Amino acid sequence: MRTQGFAALVEGHLAQVQDTANLEEAGQALQQGGFQGDDVHGFIDRVCAWGGHWGPQIAHRVLQENHLDVIGQRFRDAVDVLLQDAPDVGRALEVMTEINGFGVSFGSKHLRFLKPGLCPVLDDKISRRFWHPLTRDGYRCLSHDCLKIASKLQECGIQNPLNRPNGRWFAADVEMALFAFAQDWRNEP
């Protein structure tokens, strides 16, 4: 995959999976609002719906098996880990999977919208196609790889269709391109 193709792949992902930019804004609003119950509930519903076919069932199970205050606290704890001088995405994912009903896939989907600069999504498609196990260490490795690619894209001056400040590419943006590549969702003329 050439670096120039990353932008087209991100556009392809955005065309196939709606609500991405709005969910990033919702993740920021959730943090600013202190992870309050009703906001947490709505965020989980939306992220799980964004996450695909099984998403609504995952959301229902998570919301049935966990108190909203507990979920909000886990979200706060995960974000706190990511705000440290040496953020540990693997530990943040571990905190998310302490929520009953969240595994690696949906735990990472929520992290992706809370901290897209550092956090990609690790699901079975990415795991199989790009050889990152569905584990805490696999997630660390995926984040590291996405950040390395993001740095190269910035260095090469590749325009990010998400128009990040200063032309930045986030780990989540790179993962979107990788997922689109795996799904053959190119947005090329």
Quick: pLDDT tens for 18-73: 899 999 999 999 999 999 999 999 999 999 999 988 999 999 999 999 999 999 99
* Span 146-159, average pLDDT: 95
* DSSP-H helix ranges across 51-189: 55-65, 68-82, 89-96, 104-114, 124-130, 136-155, 171-183
* Span 136-158, average pLDDT: 96
Query: 186 pLDDT band (50/70/90 cuts)?
Result: confident
99 pLDDT more than 80: yes
| Long-range contacts formed by 32-35: CB under 8 A, 24+ apart | 34/72, 34/76, 35/71, 35/72, 35/73, 35/75, 35/76
Write the CB contacts of 141 (distance below 8 Å, at least 6 apart in sequence).
132
Note down the domain range covering 81: 5-183
Whether residue 173 is contained in a domain is answered as: yes
Per the structure, how many domains does the chain have? 1
Whether residue 131 is contained in a domain is answered as: yes
Whether residue 189 is contained in a domain is answered as: no
Whether residue 188 is contained in a domain is answered as: no
Whether residue 59 is contained in a domain is answered as: yes
Whether residue 174 is contained in a domain is answered as: yes
For 111, counting Cβ atoms within 10 Å of its Cβ (0-12 exposed, 13-18 middle, 19+ buried), the class is: buried
Whether residue 145 is contained in a domain is answered as: yes
pLDDT, residue 4, reads 65
Reported pTM:
0.95
